[in-house]
Amino acid sequence: MSTVRPGRVGPQRGVPVEIVRPEYAATGHPRHAGDPGPLDAATLARMRRACRAAAAVLAEIGPLVAPGVTTDSIDAATHAAYLARGGYPSTLNYHGFPKSLCTSVNEVVCHGIPDDRRLQEGDIVNLDVTVYLEGVHGDCSATYAVGRIDAESERLVRVTRECLDRGIAAVRPGRPIADIGRAIEPFAREHGYGVVRNYGGHGIGTAFHTGLHVPHHIEPRASTLMRPGMVFTIEPMLTMGTHETLEWPDGWTVVTADGRRSAQFEHTVLVTEAGVEILTR
């Protein structure tokens, strides 16, 4: 099972002047968003379109995953796919992030930077797509198998996908955000997996990350009640061993502390009167 090492990161890709940029695009510093609560109908309508675009980009780039393909070439395709829809790559210069996509291979938990590493048969890779369109962000991700993968990795990916589904099914107006982690962590642990705590889901809208944090583990302090019109992501990261993480010296790449594999899936969801609607479809 190969260990991931930092590769060479190419230059930032350009964005045509006619594409509308988020507030941090030039400076790298997002404004402090707070937790805006439920979105109004007009913002929600924009959110639906941005999220649908993010889902469409992910559907477009997923099939590019194959042995021998560099993560930077997937970044190039993703960048072009955002621009083709009139969108800006939300990650580009977000707190200085250098690329248009996050690519997290094997023991990389999240925030992997696309580089010149070629995907190898047996790897798993999460592609995390976020687009800024019509003044709002849409965010989703999925983990893909590179060629044939071992049964253990396949099980990790399958259980992680199911954890996302269970987290989404726990979304109900009037219930606390903590219900989401309560639906995810016991199920993950039954399968022998860890649930990453250092990173979680987040409120999203005109800001990429609002002040609302969505834990995927059991966290009774996540007492904010879900209300119709609230939009946030659910994006559980499961690990084969410890849930503890380390960060590479690049200041971005998050890896498992024990080097064992991790998988992740993400949707942006809307709390409705009836329950939940997945926006990144």
Q: Where along the sequence are the contacts to ligand MF3 (CB under 6 A)? A: 91, 94-95, 97, 102, 111, 128, 130, 139, 202, 233, 235, 252, 266
Distance CA 43, CA 274 (A): 20
Q: Are 194 and 242 in contact (CB under 8 A)?
A: yes
SS3 187: helix
The site partner of 97 among Co ion, ligand MF3, none (C-beta below 5 to 8 Å per kind) is: ligand MF3
Question: What's the closest the beta carbon of residue 172 comes to Co ion, in angstroms?
Answer: 21
Q: Does 128 bind Co ion (CB under 5 A)?
A: yes
Distance CA 123, CA 152 (A): 12
Candidates 72, 139, 185, 219; binder of Co ion (CB under 5 A) is 139
Q: Among residues 25 and 140, whose Cβ is nearest to Co ion?
A: 140
**Subset of 141-160 contacting Co ion (CB under 5 A):** 141
Here the tokens at position 119 are: 């995907």
Q: Among residues 15 and 129, whose Cβ is nearest to Co ion?
A: 129
Contact segment (CB under 5 A) with Co ion among 36-44, 85-93, 150-158, 229-237 equals 229-237
Using alpha carbons, select from 69, 167, 83, 159 the residue that is nearest to residue 118: 69
Question: What's the closest the beta carbon of residue 190 comes to Co ion, in angstroms?
Answer: 25
Question: What's the closest the beta carbon of residue 148 comes to Co ion, in angstroms?
Answer: 27
Backbone angles phi, psi at 122, to 5 degrees: 100, -15
Q: Among residues 100 and 233, whose Cβ is nearest to Co ion?
A: 233
Distance CA 172, CA 182 (A): 13
Q: Does 43 bind Co ion (CB under 5 A)?
A: no
Q: Does 234 bind Co ion (CB under 5 A)?
A: no
Q: Does 233 bind Co ion (CB under 5 A)?
A: yes
Question: What's the closest the beta carbon of residue 68 comes to ligand MF3, in angstroms?
Answer: 25
Using alpha carbons, select from 39, 46, 22 the residue that is nearest to residue 208: 22
CB atoms within 10 A of CB 28: 12
Question: What's the closest the beta carbon of residue 174 comes to ligand MF3, in angstroms?
Answer: 26
Secondary structure (DSSP) of 106-163: TTEEE-PPP-SPBP-TT-EEEEEEEEEETTEEEEEEEEEE-SS--HHHHHHHHHHHHH
The site partner of 232 among ligand MF3, Co ion, none (C-beta below 5 to 8 Å per kind) is: none
Question: What's the closest the beta carbon of residue 207 comes to ligand MF3, in angstroms?
Answer: 11
* DSSP category for residue 100: S
| Cα separations in angstroms, 203 against 83, 100, 172, 232 | 24, 20, 16, 4
Distance CA 113, CA 65 (A): 16
Q: Among residues 134 and 235, whose Cβ is nearest to ligand MF3?
A: 235
Question: What's the closest the beta carbon of residue 45 comes to Co ion, in angstroms?
Answer: 21
Q: Does 75 bind Co ion (CB under 5 A)?
A: no
Which residues would be at the binding site for Co ion (CB under 5 A)?
A: 128, 139, 141, 233, 266
